[in-house]
Chains A and B, each alone.
Chain A
């Protein structure tokens, strides 16, 4: 009898010598400050080093940006996972914290990782104060496991634990989220990634595998709880529930093949744009596409409910990766404010300051000076991020929301996911100033 080595590994629970060195699936988190919150049900120090996940040698584990993978146990031939739906305290970035709902202490919830063909048994304990269910987005499974409350199953009432059990018949990037009081529960952050690796291994192997979910939050300025009633006018746009500059960089060594999996459970479609490469769109909701269907792109719109995988060969440098909707790379701002561009406030500013001593005229020449003001101490409402922030080696980056950096270095070690700092640009490869005189040269204009 030919022993199927893979099954042996699974059945015996023997940890095979993995090719991948380093801590598999475990990720570093900087200790985030959580102070002064009033409604947290989870202890404030829920963050910390992520739990170790048992190594399954058949795949390269996915790295969830700012997140973690859920450890599993092998029980009666199935990988057992245990999700807990509960209220949590979540930090979007230093300076903005909120009472949210998530799984196992985080939003998004922990990533579930398994292999095509695995049988999974997922316990879901509901510690919310209302009922819930979990839907496995994109999965082929018996209808009774699909998780639409009232339709496929009775609701999981507060305090109850249900079990879902099914065999994975596909591979690809998938998601899980509630399907009971869906608008509210998703608005508070309940969602997570479900990555299923192909049973026969990757057709084209990747060296780094990253994943994140797109989301939006109506955390009104000066409040500590997102507003689930908002439909369009959101305040915070996130990758894995984080805003720039708190989103982890995507790091790689020069020449490595990098995959980025993107899922969208927000209320809007997002054109995700990567600088520096023409990547290949290699997969979507149905798993990896045949190579003949791979497309070269620089921007991919991930619609609501969709997943998209992109792959590229890393080139050295610091490369922006962001949603190309300009407002989605900003944190909260007013959309009904009188426009200050071009307004001369000379003389009037002093009169306003006579009654409002903290008033400063701003915005006459655009909003670039805004970050300087906020960095210098211009105070906003409590618990509110400035609209734009972040400092690079050359100055202010002036971003927020759905923005992060792909950092590729020649000398990054395999399996090293630490932030390597800013790129050291080779000499003469940086755009440089040739004149400070506005009348310099003879640019050709079109008469208007």
Chain B
């Protein structure tokens, strides 16, 4: 539960008023003094909330964590930028940059920043003083009594410094929260990009398998036409080819769906949505980040954690003020000027004192304490969750990296050797062409598993970045690229084996 800026500020205003010391000040300095004091505080607190500094401050939070900055710097021709990025084969980085400029979610977040700012401004305003006017006429005679008075809750003035401090803290918290949301959106876009590339590669591999089995079925038809295989054998081949085609169609739809999801996340539609994507994913990094280092990064840098810490601090501060001023109720101070019916004028300060006899504001204090504890508990839970999530996420990334390596160093070479050796056996008429083609489609399946593992690895890294709240330092390591789809059909041949006295 996010404590609204407005709620606690007005709560302070309405419930924690006090007099005493402040009243003396006004008696001494009079009306003018009151106005000057109020104006000074008002202007002073406003000076700390400059809308022009919002976006750069949020951008600093983002870039400190390696994330790309918000695109709104007020001016700038973002349309050409976006068109330029979409004209090239789309990378994950460019997808995120487009989203920074176009994502409707981010635009919502930015608008929320304005709302937050408004909340803050309201919180640091002093409640307007009340003017009372009365004209009383003497019954049946001439003369009237006219009184004019001005009164305001003194508590506003007294609590204003604390309120300002808390308001600034709250604004920080709002900025942290907004920056956290911006980062979350960028991670979402990035994940959507990987999901799309992965779905497309899967669709392409299923298509390769479907094409291979269709060729096998076509070859079987030729054997059947020559009278060399039975219809039973032919139909087995055809059924396998058709099943593969159906599977390929389904994965094609899934890829289209993933593309739509990415377009929505980027905020792109119409002709802009016709971009092409790069065909290769990068390989995993050589050295993964140390889990202890990541834990440290998360503890000091996670924006959600920082925001939660702010919130806990703010509510602790509110509880402190509540406890400090619990005996002062709705005390008001003011100034009255009366012109009596006989023309005499009396004037002077007024004091309206709430006596804490029946209650000492215990309920207020209890509520404030409870809110503070709630925020503290929420922070603790978030810390626990983050610690565990970082640990688990780090382990997951490691395991998925191993899986990719196992594919690259074990499964793929084995499948390629199977194809090469099968070709040698088919050369010597030890096996037939259909068995050879099955060996090849088995290799396609292995490549699909490989590409899916690479995609799963990068998505796991994004999940880890979500829990840490920053991009991983290991991103800086250069990596090679996974094989492109068009390389797979012509896999490398078996290296020349030792031949004992070749007949050639």
Could you list which residues of chain A lie within 8 angstroms of chain B, going by C-beta atoms? 32-37, 91, 93-97, 221-222, 332-334, 336-345, 348, 351-352, 354-360, 363, 367, 370, 373-375, 377-387, 389
Contact = CB atoms under 8 A, between A and B. Distances in A.
A363 B233 CA distance: 20
Nearest to B420: A358
Contacts of A356: 419, 423, 436-437, 440
A338 B229 contact: yes
B503 A36 contact: no
Contacts of A95: 499-503
Interface in B29-73: none
B219 A352 contact: yes
B449 interface: no
Contacts of B423: 356, 358-359
Interface stretch (B241-249, B252-260, B344-352, B424-432): B424-432
B362 interface: no
A403 to B, nearest CB: 15
Contacts of A96: 500
A224 to B, nearest CB: 10
A401 to B, nearest CB: 15
Contacts of A222: 421, 424-425
Given A352-B215, A387-B429, A32 B501 contact: yes
Given A35-B501, A352-B433, A359-B423, 17 more contacts: A94-B501, A97-B500, A222-B425, A332-B430, A333-B428, A333-B429, A337-B429, A337-B432, A339-B229, A341-B226, A345-B219, A351-B215, A352-B437, A360-B427, A363-B429, A370-B429, A373-B427
Contacts of A380: 424-425, 427-428, 430
B483 interface: no
B423 to A, nearest CB: 5
Given A36-B500, A95-B501, A342 B430 contact: no
- How big is the B interface, by class? 35 or more
A36 to B, nearest CB: 4
A363 B432 CA distance: 11
B221 to A, nearest CB: 9
Contacts of B432: 334, 336-338
Contacts of A387: 428-429
B248 to A, nearest CB: 15
Contacts of A339: 223, 228-229
Interface of B: 208, 211-212, 215, 218-219, 222-223, 225-229, 233, 419, 421, 423-434, 436-437, 440, 489-490, 493, 497-504
B215 A344 contact: no
Nearest to A373: B427
Nearest to A36: B498
A337 B424 CA distance: 14
A342 B226 contact: yes
A363 B228 CA distance: 13
Contacts of A32: 501
B498 A35 contact: yes
B500 A333 contact: no
A94 B500 contact: yes
Most chain B CB inside 10 Å of its own CB: which residue of A348, A356, A381: A356
Most chain B CB inside 10 Å of its own CB: which residue of A96, A357, A379: A379
20 contacts: A33-B501, A37-B500, A221-B428, A222-B421, A333-B430, A334-B425, A337-B429, A338-B229, A339-B229, A345-B222, A348-B218, A351-B218, A352-B215, A355-B212, A356-B440, A375-B504, A380-B425, A381-B424, A384-B428, A386-B428
A313 to B, nearest CB: 35
